[in-house]
């Protein structure tokens, strides 16, 4: 299928997960931000998300930088990131998507974003979709002015040992793993033509409650997410994130099982739950951003606390501070574990390095 890279929102080329780093590829760090296709035609610069949403209005500081760093007519694939204190901060990046123009301008100064370029799709009058990855890389290096503030070129290596070292060391800067591209790989929009190798770990976490799915109904309730927690050094149960990927049939089964454990303010065990007081007062869950509502009707957005709190094992890629960077993946129930034993001590913390060490390679 032909793609008009100059007038259409180009779908980015994707990667499929593999367990180990294969040999014989071009390797790049896997950045953790908003995937972005930059489409420039003269004074018009558009930032397209992976889902073809126009992000331009949210990142005015990037538009200014890209106007100085990119050729007058080009299409560039890359990632929008926020770098704070030498590390990637995905949560701060999420704050940048805001409907109010005044807030957008304020955030662009307080939490400025950077753009990491890693592929060139079009240049001048030429589409590069059918060019091999090695040639696109050469032309990308020639085309992007990385002396411009907030615009960078991702490092690349052909050496497998270097890629393995990057996989280990760059996690300390908040990166997500390694991407691999065949040297002759053409650019294939919306196809999983690359490979990605991500960090995968497991942890035992407390199921503190649950939320209903957005498609849940009174006649057919469906689980949206399991709300997860870990105990900190002071014995406070902190919200760490959610597990949310379940087949539809299983969502219905889990709601039926968890509803038997649900506690409300009129329940005998309500005061036993570590978050009961916070929920009743509309206060924040410890460590969380959003709020629970114990007094509202049970909509799909309302939080349901459960007692006793079971323990599950999840797989995850990375903890950012005290929280999961991405949703955890359910592995199994752990009836043999006591909730109080689920602490942050089990979380592996990589040795920190500044992002500048990655970008200056």
3-class secondary-structure state, position 207: strand
- Report yes or no: 212 and 296 within 8 Å, Cβ to Cβ: no
Per annotation, catalytic residue among 16, 30, 181, 196: 30
Question: Which residues face 333 on adjacent strands?
Answer: 312
Task: Supply φ then ψ for residue 256, to 5 degrees.
Answer: -65, -40
The Cα–Cα gap between 137 and 183 comes to: 10
C-alpha to C-alpha distance for 321 and 307, rounded to whole angstroms? 27
- 237 in Cβ contact with 231 (< 8 Å): yes
| Peptide bond preceding 308 in cis form (omega within 30 of 0) | yes
Report the distance separating Cα 339 and Cα 204, nearest Å: 9
Residue 30 annotated to the active site: yes
Asked if residue 3 lies in contact with residue 190, where contact means CB atoms within 8 angstroms, the answer is no
Q: Assign 231 to helix, strand or coil.
A: strand
- What does the alpha-carbon distance between residue 121 and residue 350 come to, in Å, rounded to a whole number? 35
Query: CB–CB of 187/13 below 8 Å?
Result: yes
Neighbours of 114 (CB within 10 A): 24
300 touches 211 (CB < 8 A): yes
Geometric angle at alpha carbon 261, from 259 and 263, rounded to 5°: 95
Nearest to 122 by CA among 55, 75, 60: 75
Structure-block tokens of residue 90: 């995905």
d(CA 163, CA 157): 7
Q: Which run of H or of E encompasses 238?
A: strand 237-243
* Bridge partners for 203 per DSSP: 314
**Looking at the annotation, which residues are catalytic?**
30
């Amino acid at each position: 299928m032909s793609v008009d890279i100059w007038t259409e929102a180009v779908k980015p080329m994707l990667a499929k997960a593999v367990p180990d780093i294969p040999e014989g590829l071009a390797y790049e760090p896997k950045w953790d931000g908003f995937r972005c296709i930059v489409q420039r035609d003269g004074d018009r610069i558009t930032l397209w998300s992976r889902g073809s949403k126009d992000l331009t209005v949210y990142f005015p500081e990037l538009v200014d930088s890209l106007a100085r760093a990119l050729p007058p007519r080009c299409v560039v694939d890359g990632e929008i990131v926020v770098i704070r204190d030498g590390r990637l901060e995905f949560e701060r990046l999420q704050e940048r998507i805001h409907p109010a123009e005044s807030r957008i301008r304020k955030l662009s100064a307080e939490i400025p974003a950077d753009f990491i370029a890693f592929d060139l799709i079009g240049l001048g009058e030429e589409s590069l979709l059918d060019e091999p990855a090695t040639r696109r890389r050469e032309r990308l290096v020639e085309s992007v002015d990385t002396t411009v503030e907030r615009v960078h070129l991702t490092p690349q290596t052909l050496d497998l040992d270097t890629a393995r070292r990057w996989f280990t060391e760059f996690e300390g800067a908040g990166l997500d793993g390694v991407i691999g591209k065949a040297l002759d790989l053409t650019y294939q929009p919306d196809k999983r033509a690359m490979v990605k190798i991500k960090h995968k770990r497991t942890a035992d976490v407390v199921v503190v409650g649950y939320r209903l799915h957005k498609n849940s109904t009174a006649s057919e309730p469906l689980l949206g997410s399991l709300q997860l927690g870990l105990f900190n050094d002071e014995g406070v149960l902190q919200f760490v994130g959610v597990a949310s990927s379940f087949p539809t049939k299983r969502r219905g089964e889990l709601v039926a099982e968890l509803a038997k454990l649900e506690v409300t303010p009129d329940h005998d065990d309500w005061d036993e739950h570590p978050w009961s007081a916070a929920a009743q007062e509309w206060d924040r869950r410890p460590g969380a951003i959003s709020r629970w509502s114990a007094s509202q009707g049970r909509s799909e957005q309302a939080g349901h606390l459960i007692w006793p709190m079971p323990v599950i094992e999840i797989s995850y890629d990375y903890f950012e501070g005290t929280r999961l960077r991405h949703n955890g993946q359910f592995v199994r129930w752990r009836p043999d574990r006591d909730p109080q034993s689920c602490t942050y001590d089990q979380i592996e913390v990589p040795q920190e390095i500044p992002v500048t060490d990655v970008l200056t390679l």
